[in-house]
Amino acid sequence: MRMKRSNVLLGSRRVKSGSKVSNEGDEDDWDFEYDLLQPNKVAIADDNNAYQRFGDRIFCAPQEDVLEGTWSSSFGLSHLFTCH
């Protein structure tokens, strides 16, 4: 894929960083994996329950309030809420 001729977006997904348990004992620690992807491979994380369940399997667009409104209109990204 050539970046000069194709639209690309920064996508991120959660990756388990190890089997450490936090002091509260509620869940593992998470890191993020980043990649430049075609817009049809990136979703908007607008559903917290779906993101908690599938955030380690899908790439999401950056979660910036200023940018979130333009993702679907400019690049045609789908929302997590409409995916399930």
pLDDT tens per residue across span 23-70: 554 456 889 999 999 888 988 888 888 888 988 999 998 877 656 566
Q: Tell me the pLDDT band of 76, cut-offs 50, 70 and 90.
A: low
pLDDT at 65: 64
Q: Is the separation of the CB atoms in 28 and 15 below 8 Å?
A: no
Give Dmax (Cα) for the chain. Answer: 48
Residue 6 backbone phi and psi in degrees, to 5 = -125, 150
What is each CA distance from 41 to 13, 18, 21, 28, 37, in whole angstroms?
A: 12, 26, 31, 26, 6
Q: Tell me the pLDDT band of 8, cut-offs 50, 70 and 90.
A: confident
pLDDT at 7: 82
Work out the number of other CB atoms within 10 angstroms of the CB of residue 23: 5
pLDDT at 77: 67
- What's the rounded mean pLDDT across residues 14-25? 67
User: Nearest 5 degrees, angle CA 71-CA 6-CA 36?
Assistant: 65
* Global pTM value: 0.64
